[in-house]
Amino acid sequence: MARVRVLAVALVFLALPAAFTGGFERPRAKTPRVPLKADAIGQAFQLPPEKVVEAVKRAGPRVTAADVAAKGGLSLQEARKGVVELAAALGEDAELQVSKEGEIVYRFPSNVQVALSKASSAAAVREAWNAAKPTVLTGLRCMFGVALFASIAVIYAAIIAISTSSSDRDRDDRRRGDSFGGGGFDMSFGPRLYYGSSPFDVLFYRPYTAPYRHWGDEYEPEPPEMGFLESVYSFVFGDGDPNTGREEQQLAAVAAWARRNDGVLTAEQLAPLLDPPEYPSGSSYNVNESWALPALQRLNGRPEVAKSGQIVYVFDDLQTTAGQYERLRRSNPPAILEEREIPFSLADQGSLVLVGLLGAANLIGAAYLGAEFASLDAGVKLIGFLGTVKALYPALVGYAVSFFAVPALRFLSLKKRNSDIDERNKHRRQWLDVLRSGEVDGKLAEARKYKQQMREISSENSVYSTAKEAAPQSADQDLEDFDRRLRS
């Protein structure tokens, strides 16, 4: 038996060059470590997508591509490509493990975002931008509010200037020539506009500073209320779609239910999570389920026709996990994903009323200023401040009109979009009611015949790791395999 063992060892080491022929070369001198480096994919290296990094952060340091896809709501193709890019970016900080069945597991640092920022300057810049983006966007929204006050100030300053100049001209026509609004205006009215007290001071300064005075303090409510200047932007353009990222949420929910349900689902289980049509009551065969195909395609699902003619959907590629099986069993994914209606604005009612009044004052002032310009004699030439205002008048009018035109069009659009959202939510609830009613219990029982066993890949099940030297791993594995053959 000892001679057989010695012979086996010799044969194993002679066979080492043939092992791992797909990706590793036989060391010529000292066996090197095989780290994952960005150089391994050469010039094709790309910064890993943020969605992948976030999914790895949430799923845990040791993941499979299926874990990342399920946690991040990504397609399996995106997840596989993304984890490879992330591993390449992290270099030696990432570890690749291969199971006996050929499944690949990735182990990343526990704080993968910090590690990636240290390894890549591009990732560090992206992380810095993500941290600064909320402040920058808030500043831009506030600037739009400042523009309203600036427009009001310019329009009414011009109106006052015209009225004052007209009154002065009536009292002393001899001091006026053909030109109008010259040095006298620049010396007297300008300083009063910018440095003196103004009826707009209360409206301009206080709303701009008050919402941010205690930003981040202990007593600041969370989330902070929208400031008045942001309310101006919100009144005109709204606050975005609350359903942004819904496709990722749908894929994540489908993947979670598929993994929890042994890799098989029916249309009645998928419909409350996706965008189905109205439930076809009274029909049991030849039902169009094409609405499920996009999710199937992205998660590598496949349809199977049961003996009864019903269609079930099997998700084989989602049934691998890196030691998260018990956590998957305890998970409680949502039974239905309803869309939220898109609000006109998230600003409080009082702020919206005040914004509307200021917008109306701006529009009325622009119309009145246009009438004042039109009433001037044809030979009058405007210079200085008034000349600049007249040159900018088309832009001022455009701003004043669009301040109400854009919200009006948006209001009509939101009415139609929210009606469609209500209709889709109604369809989802119909399918969920059917699922809970017991009407399709027979179909669910037949679908369970296609269940796929979850393949949990533990660290002990790994036969190769990039964190260890290649040759000893190959020898140990081949010896274990040879011993099993001798005992069998």
**Residues composing the chain:** 488
3-state helix/strand/coil string of 66-124: HHHHHHHCCCHHHHHHHHHHHHHHHHHHCEEEEECCCCEEEECCCCHHHHHHHHCHHHH
Measured distance CA(152)–CA(376) in Å, rounded? 22
Of all helices (H) and strands (E), which one includes residue 63? Answer: strand 62-63
pLDDT at 7: 35
CB-based contact 459:97 (threshold 8 Å): yes
List CB contacts of 331: < 8 A, sequence separation 6 or more: 256, 260
pLDDT category, 278, cuts 50, 70, 90?
very high
Asked whether the predicted pLDDT for residue 374 surpasses 80, the reply is yes
Neighbouring C-alpha atoms within 13 Å toward the C-beta of 56: 33
pLDDT at 83: 95
Closest CA to 261 of 139, 444, 89: 444
pLDDT at 168: 54
Percent of the chain beyond pLDDT 90? 56
pLDDT at 478: 53
Closest CA to 315 of 457, 454, 446: 454
Q: Which of 60-69, 186-195, 428-437 has the lowest mean pLDDT?
A: 186-195
Closest CA to 109 of 101, 121, 117: 117
Rounded-to-10 torsion of CA 354, 360, 364, 369: 70
Ordered alpha helix ranges (H), 196-245: 201-209, 228-237
Asked whether the predicted pLDDT for residue 380 surpasses 50, the reply is yes
- Amino acid occupying residue 382: L
SS3 351: helix
Task: Considering only the C-alpha atoms of the chain, give the largest distance between any 2 of them, rounded to a whole number of Å.
Answer: 128
Measured distance CA(74)–CA(53) in Å, rounded? 12
Q: Which of 6-10, 94-98, 354-358, 441-445 has the lowest mean pLDDT?
A: 6-10
List CB contacts of 18: < 8 A, sequence separation 6 or more: none
**What 8-state DSSP symbol labels residue 27?**
P
CB-based contact 274:335 (threshold 8 Å): no
SS3 406: helix
User: What does each C-alpha distance from 429 to 90, 281, 334, 437 come to in angstroms?
Assistant: 45, 14, 13, 12
Asked whether the predicted pLDDT for residue 216 surpasses 50, the reply is no
Measured distance CA(389)–CA(402) in Å, rounded? 19
- Higher model confidence: residue 105 or residue 6? 105
List CB contacts of 144: < 8 A, sequence separation 6 or more: 229, 232, 233, 236
pLDDT at 284: 54
List CB contacts of 488: < 8 A, sequence separation 6 or more: none
pLDDT at 244: 93
Measured distance CA(456)–CA(326) in Å, rounded? 10
pLDDT category, 432, cuts 50, 70, 90?
very high
Closest CA to 357 of 142, 194, 139, 152: 152
Query: What is the bridge-based pairing of β-strands 381-382 and 179-180?
Result: parallel
The sign of the dihedral angle between the CA atoms of 43, 47, 53, 55 is negative
pLDDT at 42: 40
Asked whether the predicted pLDDT for residue 311 surpasses 60, the reply is yes
Asked whether the predicted pLDDT for residue 372 surpasses 70, the reply is yes
Query: What is the bridge-based pairing of β-strands 104-107 and 95-99?
Result: antiparallel
Asked whether the predicted pLDDT for residue 8 surpasses 50, the reply is no
Q: Is the peptide bond before 223 cis (omega within 30 degrees of 0)?
A: yes
The tokens of 465 are what?
């790791």
Asked whether the predicted pLDDT for residue 292 surpasses 50, the reply is yes
Highest mean pLDDT, choosing among 123-127, 184-188, 207-211: 123-127
pLDDT at 415: 96
Query: What is the bridge-based pairing of β-strands 381-382 and 320-321?
Result: unpaired
Asked whether the predicted pLDDT for residue 304 surpasses 90, the reply is yes
User: What does each C-alpha distance from 458 to 101, 318, 325, 418 come to in angstroms?
Assistant: 12, 16, 10, 47
- Amino acid occupying residue 207: P
Closest CA to 96 of 483, 487, 478, 459: 459
End-to-end CA distance of the chain: 15
- The residues that bridge with 199 in the sheet, in sequence order, are none
Q: Read off the pLDDT of each residue in 428-432 and give the average, rounded to a whole number.
A: 96
- Higher model confidence: residue 250 or residue 476? 250
CA 432 to chain centre: 27
Model confidence over 454-487: pLDDT tens digits?
A: 888 888 777 788 876 554 555 455 545 545 544 5
Asked whether the predicted pLDDT for residue 190 surpasses 50, the reply is no
Q: Mean pLDDT in the chain?
A: 79
- Amino acid occupying residue 103: E
The tokens of 369 are what?
């200023």
Model confidence over 318-353: pLDDT tens digits?
A: 999 997 677 777 778 999 999 999 999 999 999 999
Could you tell me the pTM of the whole model? 0.74
pLDDT at 135: 92
pLDDT at 170: 54
Burial 391-422 (b: 16+ CB within 10 A, else e): eebeebbebbeebbeebeebeeebeebbeebe
DSSP code per residue over 147-204: HHHHHHHHHHHHHHHHHHHHHHHHH-GGG--SEES-HHHHHHHHHHHHHS--TTHHHH
Model confidence over 51-110: pLDDT tens digits?
A: 999 999 998 899 999 999 999 999 999 999 999 999 999 998 999 999 888 889 999 999
pLDDT at 375: 86
